Structure 1
Amino acid sequence: MFDFVRRHTRILQFILLLLIVPSFVVFGIQGYDQFSEGRDSVARVDGQDISRSEWDNAHRNQIERMRAQMPGIDVKMLDTPEVRQRVLEQLVDERVIFAAARDLHLTPTEQRLERLFKTDAQFESLRNPDGSVRKELLAAQGMSSAMFAQRLSQDIAMSQVTSAIALSAFAPETVARAAVDAFYQRREVRVVRFDAREQLGKVQVTDADLQAYYDDAANARRFQSPESVTMEYLVLDLPSVERSISIAEDDLRKYYSENASRYEQAQERRARHILIKAEAGSPADAKAAARRKAEALLAEVKKSPASFAEVAKKNSEDPGSAPNGGDLDWFPRGAMVKPFEDTVFVMKKGEISGIVETDFGFHIIELTDLRGGERRSFESVRAEIEAEVRKSLAQKRYAEAAEQFSNLVEQEDTLEPVAAQLKLTLRRVERFTRDYRPAAQAEGAAVLANPKLAELAFLPDNLAGKHNSQATDIGGNQMVAVRVLAHQPSRRQPLADVRDAVRATVQQDKAAKAARTEGEARLAKWKAAAPPLAELPAAQTISRARSQDLPRPIVDAVLKASVDTLPAWIGVDLGQDGHAVVMIEKVQAADAADTGPIAQVRQQYAAMWAQAETEAYRAALRKRYKSEITAKAKAAEEPAGAASK
């Protein structure tokens, strides 16, 4: 079975590659035909159930992948009803595509798989020079050759179901241009805004309004206080390990002696030179002539050293330094080409070198000054050495300290003795929530904002037990342990506590409604009898590419509006911001600057058409294989995480 995989061995990178293919986003290693028939079904495809546990696992796997790709991502952005619903939709699509691949007999042959691996550029990084793959990589993923062969074969089969549709999209120039012109069409408009802010001072809010808003079930979640805890916590990190380390004076001096060269100030030299150009690759006779000229100038400056600068001004062929008498200013090691540097850094002050040949030609060098090279005293670098040694020892001892920290946290009933023994700071935080956001300058802000700390604090066992949690690695050489002292479940806040917020919301709602009423009345009036243009704002030309800073709802409404008769009048609800009335005066063709070259237009149009056809084909497959999301799938609309509790 798939002898190529047994003969060779290629895998970890290949597996990583497959993980980005949609057909493997959810399922893992098990074959697609081994669908479980969970009693708690959330969807059904081709007579097979998708269970809630599969859905939860798929959602959890997606979160972990995103965490790995973007370590700083806020997990709560991924644990939402919308994301969960998309995961379920994807599960259904994958099962549908698998069923289609099976019925269409698209399973590739072993010969095709082998040819694909050997010739496809995407696998180049996975192939050894002899065509084999590292065997240990397959074992590292816990996969046998047969499992891998099945997975690869299924992936290729599934990709063929929709690839033929996507690759068949064709975009004739005239059709593509017409479609894109329509999409980027421009419209000249006059926009009148009815701002809710202007109504705020005019609306009245009564106590009855506040009570009605507070009692409305639709607003209940707005008044829920978040679940929170009061807790103590300890952090073990490299700085805390450093503080526990004592270093003998003799050890510091020994380190200073062993690394003496590090405490020497870099020596710099100042020189001037005369260059006679003879670049690498120059003809032999040209080089010989250049050398003879350099030797003549060398004899001249040797005879009269004081004339070096003047001779350099007149004869040096280095345009950068010749006007300054050949002066090169101060330079350290590494700033000059090696033959030049090797000569300068062994010369004495005032000495003139012999002929020095480099890739630039022939040089005559005079060392005019030198500085640096002194060693800093031990006393001046003692603090620097101690910090460096302490940090190095802390990195070596951190693993041992982390093990000790874990053991003590587990053995003790509270965190106080752990803090005392390891000389750690025991901190306390009130009203710590799952999405706690401390001030950037607050003590321990980075730890408190770490999502792993929230996960630890709100584990059911830690909430109920009032004992030390397990020591947990939160990344960045940091271990943390918490002890929950009090747990405050989420509760509905009394109206008295949220009265100001309710008043502001009700006032804003009333102001928006008043602005909308005024806008709708003005629209009806202007439709009946258009006002003089002088009474309206100046015209603006907008398109999907150029919104002129207008709110997106206005742009979308303008571009969707019927323009069979001009001018056309429309009203646009701006929600809490108010209302807008728009007069559409003219319709103009797309600007070529927005659409781009025709080749680009055709490519974009073909891609959009391919996507549309693929979606349509996928929808048809869903019908063919009788896929449905059952009533239980509506659990995705529950508060994030409810389904997994």
Structure 2
Amino acid sequence: MFEFVRSSKKIAQLILGLIALTFVFFGIDGYMRGGATGAVAKVDGVPITLEEFQNELRERQEILRVRMGRMFDAKMMNQPEIRRIILNEMIDQRLLFLEAQKNHVRASDDSIRRVIKGVSSFHEDGKFSDSRYDTFLQMQGKSKAEFEANLRRDLTLQQLSGTVGDSVIASKVLSERALAIHTETREVLEHTLSLDTFLPQVKLSAEATKQYYDAHPKEFEIPGQARVEYAVLSQDAVASRATVSEEEIKTWYESHKDNYKQSEERRASHILFRVEEESKKDKDKKRARAEALLEQVRKSPASFADLAKKYSDDPGSAQKGGDLGFFGREAMVKPFEDAAFALKEGEISGLVESDFGFHIIKLTGIRAERIKPLTEVRGEIETELKRNAAARSFAESAETFSNMVYEQSDSLKPVAEQFKLELKQTDWIGRKPGPAHGPLANEKLLKSLFSEDSVKSKRNTEAVEIAQNTLVSARILEHRPASLQPFEAVRSAIETQLKRKEALVLATRSGQEKQAELAKGSDLKLNWSAPKMVSYLDTRAVQAAAVPAIFKANAAKLPAYTGIELPDVGYVLYKIAKVFPAEDVTEQRRQAYLEQFNAAVGQEEMRAFMAALRARYKVEIDEAALLAKED
């Protein structure tokens, strides 16, 4: 139960994962409301407000922060191309919603119920639990009507977009031709014109380096830095100060005993004969070997562990005599589970076939279903009761925290003492968020921290919510202003950069000239590499960027030639010597590819459909508002 509450955000993402990926990250509460002034865009006259856009940016930022961990860099959300992508996706949603309304497309009540009832985290004892669903809604701060209305809108958009994409089926001829290209292999040789070879030919003017330095001062600027003190108020911090009585813990346990029910578990050992190839011959061969060993095991059950070590294709368990340890329902693939839970302790199964191959299973232990005692779960209950109490009181604590850092702005000590928080200090950090910033890697917080007033007065920043139920206030202890690196310190690096850039131009020009000569039949004495085999399914032999060029080249007459420019490398020529059509493509693999191809064609159709909607409904974008950073 408690893991369910803690992971409520993950459940929300899971629900959205059940519908189209296009709409996973985007709230649509504002589809039909006008909102505040200051529109970033208008779709058929209905604004996407600056507030809605900034909320969207923050939601995306939080998702990326969770997914990327220390690799996350908040500044990426301020890149113009990223902001434009997000805005265009919001516009696409509005367009789809308008079109859905126009065509009376609406997700049914049954589809809403199916999605909600299909979320396993809402289940208890194998059945949908209203109490778990209600707890999830409370943690999300939404009513049932509000949540289900939003879900209906998402499903409606999925229904409309799915109708467009699924209605497209590529012609058989086109599909088969695409399959042939995708599965064929080309033998190529490569010759690299390294830019290093052309460096001696590059002659920079005396003024070029200084001109570049003067024209690009930002590249050579040492940003302003500061040492910072900060305080973090989180719901967990509030929970740590909460108290829970022994009576409350006992009462909770007695009224929620079903939550601590531990289902039956079984322990088994197995011998696996793995089937990796799709041919019937290989499968029949493995089955025969497995049946022969099964007969041997039944004659001498005590030898099971030794036989597993010798014959099992499962390296993880073979070393342990085939032992898999204890496991519950849904931990193993279905055929294996069904067989294991049908055996009595000590029994050996017949041959069990799964996606992995053929198994011989021996049941070695059974743990009956039980309810965990209070002594075993007491700590878990206490922690969760404290967390629940903190969730109820956090809003009040957050308001007090915000007021104190503002009203007593010359120090963070009062608020730290009030909430028993640890004041932390950073090393020298800059204005751009990075891993060293820790909780301070928030664009809004850093903007406030490095504002002119904050730098000058060294006052507390406002309390900024950096994540759900987490507030931070910070103040500058010491500050170093931004400075420009002296020209002499960067002269050599600039010269190297400019020379390599010009050398790449020369290498590309020379490579393209050679490519043209080769295409005309000239016999150039080039130092070609050894032959390499390349296909769309296996691109390891060449640079990934070269694969499209290699397969785009007309191979009707061989040898054929193509080439690409590779930054920091030079120009690479490719000689296509032979083409090998795919052989023995299995029907299963063929059908899988054709499904993927039809899906890709459907995506292209969807893009065309969205372009048509943009032409049908008036779309206006305010570029200045789009690129404006959040205050």
TM-score range, shorter chain: 0.5 to 0.7
User: What amino acid is the match of 2:226?
Assistant: T
Query: Any idea what the Cα deviations from partners look like across 1:144-202, whole Å, max 9, x if unmatched?
Result: 45544543433333222122233334467765343122234333333211111233355
1:19 Cα deviation (Å)?
A: 4.6
1:611 match: secondary structure: helix
* Alignment map for 1:126-141 (pairs within 5 Å): 126=122, 132=130, 134-135=133-134, 137-138=136-137, 141=140
User: What amino acid is the match of 2:430?
Assistant: F
On the 8 A contact 1:574/1:580 being kept in 2, the answer is yes
Query: Any idea what the Cα deviations from partners look like across 1:65-89, whole Å, max 9, x if unmatched?
Result: 3334555433233442222111111
1:503 match: secondary structure: helix
1:610 match: secondary structure: helix
Counterpart in the other structure of 1:54 = 52
On the 8 A contact 2:401/2:415 being kept in 1, the answer is no
What runs of 5+ residues in structure 1 fail to find an aligned partner? 1-10, 242-316, 321-358, 361-391, 439-444
On the 8 A contact 2:73/2:434 being kept in 1, the answer is no
1:104 Cα deviation (Å)?
A: 0.9
TM-score by length of 2: 0.59
Question: C-alpha separation between the residues in 2 aligned to 1:187 and 1:586?
Answer: 6
Question: C-alpha separation between the residues in 2 aligned to 1:420 and 1:13?
Answer: 34
* Alignment map for 1:205-604 (pairs within 5 Å): 205-216=204-215, 219=216, 221-226=218-223, 228-233=224-229, 411=408, 413=410, 429-430=427-428, 432-436=430-434, 454=446, 457-458=449-450, 462-469=454-461, 481-486=474-479, 488-489=481-482, 493=485, 495-531=487-523, 536-590=528-582, 597-604=589-596
Question: C-alpha separation between the residues in 2 aligned to 1:17 and 1:633?
Answer: 34
User: What amino acid is the match of 1:222?
Assistant: E
**Residues 1:484 and 1:595: Cα distance change in structure 2 (over 3 Å):** farther
On the 8 A contact 1:177/1:598 being kept in 2, the answer is no
Counterpart in the other structure of 1:384 = none
2:109 matches 1:117: no
**Residues 1:208 and 1:160: Cα distance change in structure 2 (over 3 Å):** same
2:624 matches 1:628: no
Please give the root-mean-square deviation of Cα atoms over the aligned residues, in Å.
5.0
On the 8 A contact 1:416/1:426 being kept in 2, the answer is no
Question: C-alpha separation between the residues in 1 aligned to 2:422 and 2:140?
Answer: 40
**Residues 1:467 and 1:174: Cα distance change in structure 2 (over 3 Å):** same
User: What amino acid is the match of 2:225?
Assistant: V
On the 8 A contact 1:194/1:519 being kept in 2, the answer is yes
1:609 match: secondary structure: helix
On the 8 A contact 2:433/2:442 being kept in 1, the answer is no
1:126 Cα deviation (Å)?
A: 3.4
Counterpart in the other structure of 1:65 = 63
2:479 match: secondary structure: strand
2:34 match: secondary structure: coil
Counterpart in the other structure of 1:643 = 629
1:194 match: secondary structure: strand
On the 8 A contact 2:410/2:459 being kept in 1, the answer is yes
What runs of 5+ residues in structure 2 fail to find an aligned partner? 1-7, 238-300, 305-344, 347-382, 388-392
2:86 matches 1:87: yes
On the 8 A contact 1:413/1:467 being kept in 2, the answer is yes
On the 8 A contact 1:29/1:147 being kept in 2, the answer is no
2:118 match: secondary structure: helix
**Residues 1:593 and 1:151: Cα distance change in structure 2 (over 3 Å):** same
**Residues 1:138 and 1:471: Cα distance change in structure 2 (over 3 Å):** closer
**Residues 1:605 and 1:193: Cα distance change in structure 2 (over 3 Å):** same
Q: Which has the larger radius of gyration?
A: 1
1:566 match: secondary structure: coil
On the 8 A contact 2:405/2:473 being kept in 1, the answer is no
- 2:610 aligns with one of 618, 637, 642: 618
TM-score by length of 1: 0.58
**Residues 1:116 and 1:141: Cα distance change in structure 2 (over 3 Å):** closer
